[in-house]
A and B are shown apart, each in its own frame.
Chain A
Amino acid sequence: MEILIYAILWVKQDSVKLDTLLNGMKGFSGGNLHAVSTNEIAAVVCESETSRIETDRAGVIDYAGVIETLSRQFPLLPMRYGSKMESITAINLMLERNYSGIHLNLQQVEDKFEFGLKVFCDSEKLRADLMAKSRADDTETPLTLPESPNSIYKDWINKKLKEHRLEEMLLKHVDSVIAILIGQLTQMNARCKFKKMASETMIIDAVFLLEKRLKDELILKTEELQNRYPGLNFILTGPWPPYNFVEITIT
């Protein structure tokens, strides 16, 4: 028997509300959900007869659904799928040992949503556009090597220099989009995490944590960015529970 943990919640004094909510829900393999509480925080768990948790899409989606429902009622920190402990006693000890860190993280995510933003591009087209713009704007002397009768590698090196320059322009362009995005989000007091050039086509992979009341404003600002950069494809998803803003590792 092992105990699957879904999330850690900030219940405050609302344990009755949590118990009522859990009574209407089912967990892994149709099992009942319980709360294991320490002071103001509680872990939502489900007991599993099997020690192996199968990872299939349906199971993962059900797991996420439980977390989603809980997050609408309580500030919470979602657990990574498959997190389990051997007993209720162990879970209680874990909550006590990590109480202050958990409590602080819960305060940071209270009344906030996470949103995801991925920005895609047609990388070949974007490169071509940047090169065309560069040729139109460029007043600098092109980077070339001086003529040398013995420079058999001149063409190859020039080609590499052009590629390097193009990559620099692309990164600069991505940085400029991110700078504008950050500027917009700073006004909304949002926390942001960015990844640049996650793939050839995904130039920005970002997550934001912001107050729930600012959801519509974020959508509006993202639409404005889409209009500003019609060559890019902005995909905004959310709201999500704060998966990317967990700041603790449980011992």
Chain B
Amino acid sequence: MDNNVIDQSKDITILELLDRVLNKGVILTGDVVISVADVDLVYLGIKLLLSSVETMEQLKTGRAIREMKE
């Protein structure tokens, strides 16, 4: 196992960034409408889910993380 797997510098991985910006942070209650490729996602209430299927698949395999580090 390669012991240099810890990302010591701030390698902004797209997965981590997208997860934070899209799913975390301060929430405004009420309706927020965000367009994704011309499909309106209406957000009612508190929880907003915008994780892409691609993101979820990559997290399952763990491969993408290693590939990004190499």
Contacts and interface: CB of A to CB of B under 8 A. Distances in A.
Interface of A: 5, 8, 51-55, 57, 60-61, 63-64, 67, 77-85, 94, 116, 118, 120, 198-202, 219, 222-223, 226-227, 230-231, 233-240, 243-244, 246, 248-251
Given A202-B62, A223-B3, A60 B29 contact: no
Interface of B: 1, 3, 5-8, 10-14, 16-18, 20-29, 32-36, 40, 46, 48, 50, 59-62, 65-66, 69
Nearest to B41: A55
Contacts of B18: 57, 60
Contacts of B50: 55
B54 to A, nearest CB: 11
A237 B5 contact: no
A248 B32 CA distance: 17
B20 A55 contact: no
Main secondary structure of the interface of B (DSSP, over half): mixed
Contacts of B28: 5, 79-80, 83-85, 94, 250
A167 to B, nearest CB: 18
Contacts of A248: 26
Given A80-B21, A200-B60, A244-B24, 5 more contacts: A51-B33, A80-B26, A81-B21, A236-B7, A237-B13
Nearest to B69: A235
A194 to B, nearest CB: 15
B37 to A, nearest CB: 8
Contacts of B13: 237
B1 A250 contact: no
Contacts of B27: 80, 83, 246, 249-250
Nearest to B63: A201
7 contacts: A80-B26, A120-B65, A226-B3, A238-B10, A244-B20, A246-B27, A250-B28
A8 B24 CA distance: 14
B36 to A, nearest CB: 5
A123 B19 CA distance: 24
Given A53-B34, A53-B35, A201-B62, A250 B26 contact: yes
Contacts of B5: 226, 233-235
A201 B20 contact: no
The 10 closest A-B pairs by CB, nearest first: A243-B24, A243-B20, A80-B25, A120-B62, A82-B34, A78-B25, A201-B62, A52-B35, A230-B1, A199-B60
Contact of B22 (A8, A80, A223): A80
A233 B66 contact: yes
A120 B2 CA distance: 13
Contacts of B8: 219, 236
Contacts of A118: 65
A200 B50 CA distance: 21
